[in-house]
Each structure stands twice: as C-alpha cells, then as structure tokens.
Amino acid sequence: MEVALPEPVRAALSRGTKSVLVDSAALAAVRDRFDGAQAESLAHYLSESQSANTLRAYRTDWLAWSAWCAGEGRQALPAEPLDLAVYLAAAADATRIAADGGTKWAFSPATLDRKAAAIAAVHAANGLPSPTRADVVRLTLRGIRRVRKAQPTRKRPVLLGTLEALLAELPADGWPQGIARRRDALLLLMGFAGALRRSELAGLHLDSVQVDTDARTGEPLLIVDLGVTKTDPTGVHHQRVVLPRGQRPHTCAVCAFAEWADLLAAHAGGSLAQWLSEREEPARQVHRCHSYRTGPTWPQPLFPSVSRHGHLGDRPMTGRAVADLVKRYAERAGLDPDLFSGHSLRAGFATQAALGGATDREIMRQGRWTNPRTVHRYIRTANPLDDNAVTKLGL
Ligand SMILES: [Zn+2]
C-alpha cells in the first residue's frame, strides 16, 4: 500500500501540506479586502479548528495519498474521484500482522473516513471542490463499512505451532473417545497438509485415499482424490493432492490415516469397543505408517459423524461440523474459537508454506488455487517484507 519514495520527493510533498486546513488563496483575498492582521487572525482560528493530532494525521494521510498517486501515475491535487475510490478500496483490503501473530486489517473504517477527510481538507485549503463528495467515493466508503460489519474479523490461519496445540488437545485413547481421537487427528492433518476446504474434507470417502510409495524415500504417502473438478471443461480431470509422510509420528498424515483405517476395519469386524479398550497408547516415537501398505476400500464416508457414546454414523460430517471441530479444538487449546473456522486449515497451509520458503507456484499447486492474487495475499501475510522495495532503501 505504502510506496517508498526518495527523501527529496517526500520533503516536497510534505511542503505542499504545510497547512492542510487554511486556504492560502482565500487568505490573500482577506489581506486585500481587509488587512494583514485580519488575515492572520483568521488563519490562526482556521488552523486551530482541528486538534494537533488530527492535523498530524491529516498530513500523514495526505503524504500516503500523494505517494500512492506518484506510484500509480495519478494526480493527487486536484484528485479524480474514481482514483480516490480505487485508493480507498485498496487501503480497505490491506492487512498487517498483529502483535499476536494474526492478520488484521491495516486500516479501520474510521481511519479510512479520516483519510478521505484529509484529502477533502487539502482540496478545501486549495480552494478546490472535494472529490469525497462524489457518489463513487461516498458509496465506496459505505460499502467498506457494510462489508466490515458483515465480517468482523478475518479467520486466523492455523500455523504449524497452532496445529500442534490443537493436536495436543486430542482425547486420550481408549473406548469410546479413541474414535474421535483418530478421526479428528486425521481431519486436522489432512485439512492442513492438503490445504483442503471444509466441503472437500466432508465429501471424502474412504476409497478417495490411496496409500502409495514415495519414490524418493520408499516411505508411504497418501494420494487423495478430490473428485472431478468443476472448472475443467472435459470433466474427466480428477483433482488429487499428495500428502507425504510427516517428520514426526504425531504430525504424520499417513500415520493418522493408518490408525483410522485400522479402527474402521475393526468397526467393520464389529468389535470396536473391545478393540479400543485393548488398545494401548501407541508409542509416539514410532511411525505406524512404516508398516502400512494398503487400507480398507469399502465405500463409506472418510469422516463420519461420531456420537459421544462412540456410535459411528453412516453419514459424513457436514462442512459446518468440520468448522465446529476446528473451533472446538481451538477453544480447548485456550484460543478464541471465533477466530477460527474450517478455512483456517487451508489458509494455514498457504501461510506456513510461504513462511517455509515455498514459491507461489508450489503453494498454488497443492492448494489448487488458480488465482495468484489469492496466494499472494497469504504470502504477504507470512512475509510482509518479502519481495518488497522497502528492504532495498539502504536504511
Ligand atoms: Zn508416519
């Protein structure tokens, strides 16, 4: 949003806003018609009409607007209403990293109103009609306020550290909570590593997941078939994501799948309560996936609903239930559940991958994003200084 400018240019722009409230042409007229003392008195009261803080903010706002215009090749004074509307919309979309590591909007609607007011003040001080009175600017500001009201906060991405905190809240093994333990671990790991949407997680079947071998390591990996893409005109292209083995067993999607597939097989055998009560806590240092080569393939939802009493439903979880699951674990981990949703896993994948140095092409491939702008937003969130001219100023 902010454009880095050489210091002389900044200084020149600042000079132009020495007084953002006093119309110097009007004062000259006062000097002609009355006298210098009257003009001075008027200038004094006009400049006192806003607090020092507001004036300071107005100058900063004017500078930011002038810099944006310089970068876009647009004219700051007088401003075209359409340019101002585009500027305000871009400022409304801008985000920053908050102190707690989450993503926040860079500017509140009140700050955006003030930015518009600052630009109006400089126009008034130069005896020019204000571009903020134009419908396109007023409606843009109104739209921003309405959108912000509708979505109070953008959902937080689940980064690796958060994912581990959620996994630490899995229930203990045994009957009946060992069912939810296995299902939820697999759902969280697949959602994160596969950058899956909540609807995609809810739509998976047991036979959507194939266990294959990683040619580079000889270790097992998961190939997840997400079905036919809607955007493909031929309609025969299956979307697939590959989930390699995790470094540690408790963050390994293949281990989690093996544990869950074992349970489903036991369930089909009809002895789930006994199977689970005989089950000891699996040794966390050893990958279950090492010895796992093939899973059960009968048709059933991969993520069925599970009752508190350990009843495995025939129906898949709904997308809403997937989101509630993420919120539930966030709350158990002491996080605000309102900040998390099903999308947090997918957003977390992109942000964590960007933090790990993945290119946008790599992130787009796993996440099946087709619009680079979406991915760039996550990358900017992860590395605000990456690919940013401000690092090349030599400061
Ligand atoms: Zn494993």
Residue 200 and residue 329 share a domain: yes
Taking alpha carbons only, the member of 183, 179, 236 closest to residue 206 is: 183
On whether the pTM is more than 0.85, the answer is no
Residue 200 and residue 116 share a domain: no
- 195-232 per-position pLDDT tens digit: 999 999 999 999 999 999 988 888 899 999 998 765 55
Which residues have C-beta under 5 Å from ligand 1, the single-atom ion? 245, 252, 254-255, 287, 289
pLDDT at 39 exceeding the cut of 50: yes
Residue 122 and residue 239 share a domain: no
Q: Residue 103: CB partners within 8 Å, gap ≥ 6?
A: 95, 96, 97, 154, 156, 157, 381
Q: Which residues pair with 316 in a beta bridge?
A: 304
Distance 285 CA to ligand 1 centre (A): 10
Final residue belonging to a domain, choices 116, 150, 184: 150
pLDDT band of residue 8 (cuts 50, 70, 90) is low
* Angle subtended at Cα 175 by Cα 172 and Cα 179, rounded to the nearest 5 degrees: 70
Task: Evaluate whether residue 205 is within a structural domain.
Answer: yes
Residue 134 and residue 165 share a domain: no
Neighbouring CB atoms inside 10 A of 94's CB total 12
Distance 211 CA to ligand 1 centre (A): 12
Residue 208 and residue 99 share a domain: no
Task: Evaluate whether residue 122 is within a structural domain.
Answer: yes
**Which pLDDT does position 152 carry in this prediction?**
52
pLDDT at 235 exceeding the cut of 70: no
**Measured distance CA(203)–CA(76) in Å, rounded:** 51
What's the mean pLDDT in 27-32?
84
Distance 289 CA to ligand 1 centre (A): 4
- 259-295 per-position pLDDT tens digit: 999 999 899 888 799 999 887 665 567 888 888 877 6
Distance 204 CA to ligand 1 centre (A): 21
- CATH number of the domain enclosing 353: 1.10.443.10
Give me the domain span that covers residue 80: 7-150
Mean pLDDT of all residues in the chain? 85
pLDDT at 157 exceeding the cut of 70: yes
**Which pLDDT does position 376 carry in this prediction?**
83
Q: Could you give the number of structural domains in the chain?
A: 2
Tokens at 215, concatenated: 């040619």
pLDDT at 308 exceeding the cut of 80: yes
- 65-104 per-position pLDDT tens digit: 999 999 999 999 899 999 999 999 999 998 887 666 667 7
Residue 321 and residue 369 share a domain: yes
Q: Bigger pLDDT: 168 or 298? A: 168
- Tokens 């997937």 sit at which residue? 322
Distance 259 CA to ligand 1 centre (A): 10
Final residue belonging to a domain, choices 94, 126, 150: 150
Residue 164 and residue 146 share a domain: no
pLDDT at 1 exceeding the cut of 50: no
Which parts of the chain fold into alpha helices (H)? 7-15, 24-33, 36-47, 52-72, 81-93, 109-125, 135-150, 160-167, 177-193, 198-203, 253-269, 272-277, 319-332, 343-355, 360-367, 372-382
Residue 257 and residue 354 share a domain: yes
Residue 28 and residue 173 share a domain: no
**Measured distance CA(109)–CA(115) in Å, rounded:** 10
Residue 107 and residue 53 share a domain: yes
pLDDT at 15 exceeding the cut of 80: no
Distance 214 CA to ligand 1 centre (A): 12
- CATH number of the domain enclosing 77: 1.10.150.130
Task: Evaluate whether residue 1 is within a structural domain.
Answer: no
Residue 348 and residue 227 share a domain: yes
Residue 299 and residue 189 share a domain: yes
Distance 294 CA to ligand 1 centre (A): 14
